[in-house]
Each structure stands twice: as structure tokens, then as C-alpha cells.
Amino acid sequence: MHQLMAVPSCALQVNGSFQTHFISESFNHLKTSLSSAAKPLFKELQQLPIKKVNNVSETMKNTSGKILDALVNSMFKFVDQPLLPSQKNFAPVEEIGSLVEINCTEGEIPPDFAEGVYIRNGNNPLFGGLKSAVSIFGQSHHSWVDGEGMLHAVYFKKDQNGRWIISYKNRYVETETFKLEKHVHNKPCFLPVLQGDASAVLAALLLNGLRFGAVNKYFSNTNVFEHSGRVYSVTENYLPQEVDISTLETLSDWDVNGAWDRPFTGHPKKAPSSGELVIMGTDAKKPYYVLGVISADGKKLHKADLKFKRSVLSHDIGVTQKYNVIIDHPLTVDIQRLAMGGQLMKYEKEGFARIGVMPRYGDAESVKWFEVQTSCTFHILNCFEEGDEVVVRGCRALSSLIPGPDGDVGFNNKFEWFSKGFNFAHHTKDVSSADDIFAEPGYFFSRVYEWRLNMVSGEVEEKNLTGTEFSMEFPFINDQVTGLKHKYGYTQVVDSMASSTCGMGKFGSLAKLYLEESYATTSAEGKCEELIKVEYHKFEENNFCNGSVFVARHGGKGTEEDDGWIVTFVHNEETDVTQVHVIDTSRFGSEAIAKLTLPQRVPYGFHGTFVSMPSQS
């Protein structure tokens, strides 16, 4: 299927040091591509001082900023992107305010469930929803992954008598750009940059950089993670935001004591045994890909430029006992391509894909690269070492939903583009290479996949683990086996009919993967495949989940990897009510053991986590 990560916002990843270089280069590209009617504006803009702005709010204190504001306000019009009735739960909600206590509508929370916070991130656009910007340069558009981050948290706590007290709260992640638009201007300011006419996107990047010192907003809408006792909200294009887990207040950027000065992955990974946090940051200029290892106490950083020759959107990273695992696939960011009238971000189906295996504290020269079949892998299920091999498992597709349809399809035809890609019911053949994509529907179909990388011989064995009946994404595991050989995994399962009708991804069930139980089958093309056993937990009709996580049993025997529960947000589109479901993984196909009805709906979002708390809290 698709890569709904989110990636969430995966908009242009550009750090502060890039601003002056980018603005200067953009002038040259823009002057050759814009109409004569636009040139007087940019002749005037060239006379304005260009400088790096450390705090985006400070830009508004000078006269140049006010002049630019007036020019943009007169030349650009923000237009709401309409939502279909079937897309209703992609619309934003308001902050609910104070913590609200909730009860079990059905069932009950078991006594050995862990005390803690189930918290999920997602895009929740300010000012009514996603926008397009219309001007003499054409149109630029927010992508479906854009929108300010909003945290939704469910608190599980026991009173002195052992009775569960459960409560809910939501709150925006207040980055610097959020504060600028919400509290200073109280209206949209940043022009969309990820999709649209090339001249309009160039103009948006340039004007955002001149006005705010940032070419795009810091959405912080993709994931939530914990390290060294602190909780962070994150997305690809900026630093993590530390969050107070009790109040959801945004505290500050996290730059590892000033040692990390670039974008930060949406999926950092804890190394087994050591507790080190393995991260990476991709950018639109060299160094394109930098890997980092943060100490368990969060104070020290090892950093390595991997000397990539292209800018890729690599959304995830893997770890094993000894290694870091790097995904390099052909989803690229290219300003030169944009200047020539193409897309800023594009999946290049003719491009190469490779997986790198790097010693934990290695450098570019120590990475062993393995060429693999061209594909797009946003999310890794897990990685581990087995004999001479490093085994990598993830959700693999033959195209990318990010950023959206290219210029040949056009923004106005994006619904057809999404629907055709989601229409898996008509996916009649087992497409195995990039040459075949777009030849027929279902080109976003995502299967759980395995690569076996032999560190001695350099050989690669790769195969599908799941079939073509259901597309799977947003994989997750019991965090206790991250980087280790494991028996089980879990994914969200796409409802192909609902997704095709909606033109956006909806997940109508969950899957439990039995990775050590397999069976032989024959594909539609007559090929013999060995696939793993899969068990499903299906929701009621018109009910869809998001933000699913595994919660291990607290104080139990702890001997089984799947001893615990899956917690997920489930929205009923008939009643417009959102619940939290708690599903016993030992009775995976059965009804949820507990359902908690929330005081307001929760829009479909991206990734979450469960942060355990000590019992005495």
C-alpha cells in the first residue's frame, strides 16, 4: 500500500545554515522561470538584506519584514482545500482544554496493564485545514502530510485502592513557527512549498526564507518518543520538541547540548542493551545524510556524514546489537529539478535503492552497502543479526505517496491518482519491479518484506513475507525486542475499498505477523512463494484505526514476546465518535477487552508511543 507515515510532515528538510545559500541560488533560478509580470517584485526583493534568523519571530521586528508581509498579502491568496464527506475525520479539531476523565464504555482495563500515557502525534492544520496559495506565479499546495502537530494523550493511572483512573487531553505542539502564525499574526503566513507549479513553489520557498529565515513551517506532527526520561515530539524537517508529558506543554528544542544542528529523523531507535539512541538527519544540501548516536543519558553525541551524493527522504533507521541500518531509496529532494519545472520532491522509479550496514560508531568508509531492488520503504519493522547475515524487515512498496501526484497528473486530479493507487481490488498481478509501476492500479500496495544481507559474501536475499490480499503499513513490535531476533510483528491493514473511495488511506483492521510460521503458496503469476502466517483483528464496518502501539504486560511473567496488548485510536465514521481500544494479543482475533469513549473525535494521524510510569506515581 502506501507510506502514511508520516511521514507526516516530510516537507523540505533545510536547516538554518542553508538559508542564505538557498535564497541566493533561488534568485537565479526564479528570474529565468517567472513571467515578466513577476520580475519587478524580485528585482525589489534583491535589494533587501539577507541574513540568518535564529528566532523566526524576530524577523517581524524589522522594516524589511513588514514590506515583505505587505507584498505577500497583496499578491497571494490562501484558499481552503475542500474535504469530501468521506474525508471528514481528516479535518482538524480544537484543543479540549483541561484534562477530562473518561470511563470504559465496554469491558475493563486489566490490573496488570502498565500505568502510563498512550500518546499519539498527528497533523492538525491551523485555521480550518490544509491550504493552497494562489498568485501570479501559479499555485502551491499543502500536502496531506502537512499541518501543525497535535498530541492526543490517554493517561492510565491507579488510585490508592487499585482502581483505574483514565483521562484524556490534547494539545498543539507549539514550535516557533506555530507561535508566529497563531499568536503573532493569527492567520496563515507560510506559503505551501511541497506541491504545485514549479514557479509558485520556488516563489514560496524564497519568500518564506526571506520573511522568516525558514523555508517551511516546523510542523512537529509525525511521532513521539522517549529518551533518558524525557518525551519529544518530532518531524523530519526540524529538531525534536521536548514536551511535558503531564501537561503536553511544549518546553524547548532539543539539540543534544548544541551538538546536533540539522533535521532529525521521525523514527529514532534505541540500541539493544546499551540504550543509546540512533538517529539521522537528511537535508537538501550537503551533507545530505548525517547519522548520530546519542548516549543513554542524552548528553553525548557521535556524528558521521555518510557522504550521500543525493538528497533522499529516508524516514526510518534500523539497529541491531552491533550495527546501524540505513535505507537509501530514490525519493529525492532536488532544487535544480524544481528550477527546471519539475517537482521539488519526487520518487524516481528509475533510481537505485540500497541498504547500508554500519558499525555503531562507524563513519562513511565503514558502511557496507547492499544494492537491492528499487522500491520505497518508509517504515522498518525490525532488524537483527543472524549468523553472517543482517536481517531487515519492513513495509515495501513500488512507489511513494509523498509528496503527491506529479505535474503530469496535476493537483486537481490527485483524487484519481490516490484512488487508482489504493484500488487494490483490481491489482491483478504481482508487480516485482519499478518498471511495472503505474502500468495498472495498486502501485502503492505495501507488503511486509525481508532483506537478508550477508556481511561476508556481500550477497542479498530478498522476498515478500505477506501476500497481495491486504496492504499493510505502520509496522510496530514489542519495543523490548528492538534490534533482536523476534517472533512477532504487527501492522495496520489498509481498507482498500474505503481508501479508494476516500482518496486517502484508512486502516480497517490490524495484523499480527507470525514470523517463524510459514506456508507455501502460488502467486497470481504462478510463482511459488513462502509467506508467513498472519492473524487479523477486524474493526466494525466504517471504523478505522491509527496510532497503534504494543504495551507489554506489567509485572507479569514476561517470558513471551507477545505477552501484552495493542492500544489504538478507533474512529466510527457513522457516529463520528472516537474510542481507544485495548486488544489482548493472545486473543488477537477476538473483540477488544476494553473500549474507552473519548470526549471528542480524534482525527486520523500518524505515530505514537506508550510511556510507562512508576506505580507510585
C-alpha cell at position 388: 553472517
DSSP state at residue 156: E
Q: CA-CA-CA-CA torsion for 242, 328, 469, 480, nearest 10 degrees? A: -40
User: Could you give the CA distance from residue 33 to residue 416 in angstroms, rounded to a whole number?
Assistant: 29
Give the SS3 label for residue 326: strand
267 annotated as belonging to a binding site for a ligand: yes
Are the C-beta atoms of residues 481 and 516 closer than 8 Å to each other? no
Distances (CA, A) of 93 to 15, 128, 572: 30, 9, 16
Q: Give the bridge partners for 507, in sequence order.
A: 494
User: Hey, what's the cell of 220?
Assistant: 512537529
- Could you count the other beta carbons within 10 Å of the beta carbon of residue 576? 11
According to the annotation, is 379 in a ligand binding site? yes
Contact yes or no for 593/567 (Cβ under 8 A): no
On whether the CB atoms of residues 27 and 450 are closer than 8 A, the answer is no
What is the rounded CA–CA span in Å between residue 594 and residue 490?
A: 19
Rounded CA-CA distance 615/617 in Å is 5
Q: Which residue has the cell 560508531?
A: 361
Cα-only R_g, the chain: 23
**Rounded to whole angstroms, how far apart are CA atoms 427 and 398?**
13
Task: Output phi, psi for 586, to 5 deg.
Answer: -80, -15
Determine phi and psi for 193, rounding to 5 degrees.
Answer: -130, -5
**Residue 611 grid cell:** 510511556
Looking up cell 497583496 gives 74
Bond before 125 cis per omega within 30 degrees: no
In angstroms, the CA 131 to CA 337 distance is 24
The CB-side HSE value for 455 (13 A sphere, CA atoms) comes to: 18
Please, what's the largest Cα pairwise distance for the chain? 75
d(CA 348, CA 522): 30
Cell numbers standing for residue 430? 504481482
Determine the Cα–Cα distance for residues 207 and 201; give it in Å rounded to an integer: 10
Buried b (16+ CB within 10 A) or exposed e, 49-66: ebeebeebeebbeeebbe
CA distance 121 to 183: 22
C-alpha separations of 236 from 139, 221, 260, 274 in Å: 24, 9, 14, 25
For the record, the C-alpha cell of 394 comes out as 519492513
Written as one string, the DSSP assignment of 247-303 is T--EEEE--TTTT--S---S--EEPTTT--EEEEEE-SSSS-EEEEEE-TTS--EEE
Cβ pair 186, 178 in contact under 8 A: no
C-alpha cell at 215: 523555508
Count CA atoms within 13 Å of residue 133 on its CB side: 30
Q: What share of the chain is helix, strand, coil (3-state, %, to 5)?
A: 20, 35, 45
**Residues that constitute the known binding site for Fe cation:** 267, 315, 379, 607
**Residues that constitute the known binding site:** 267, 315, 379, 607
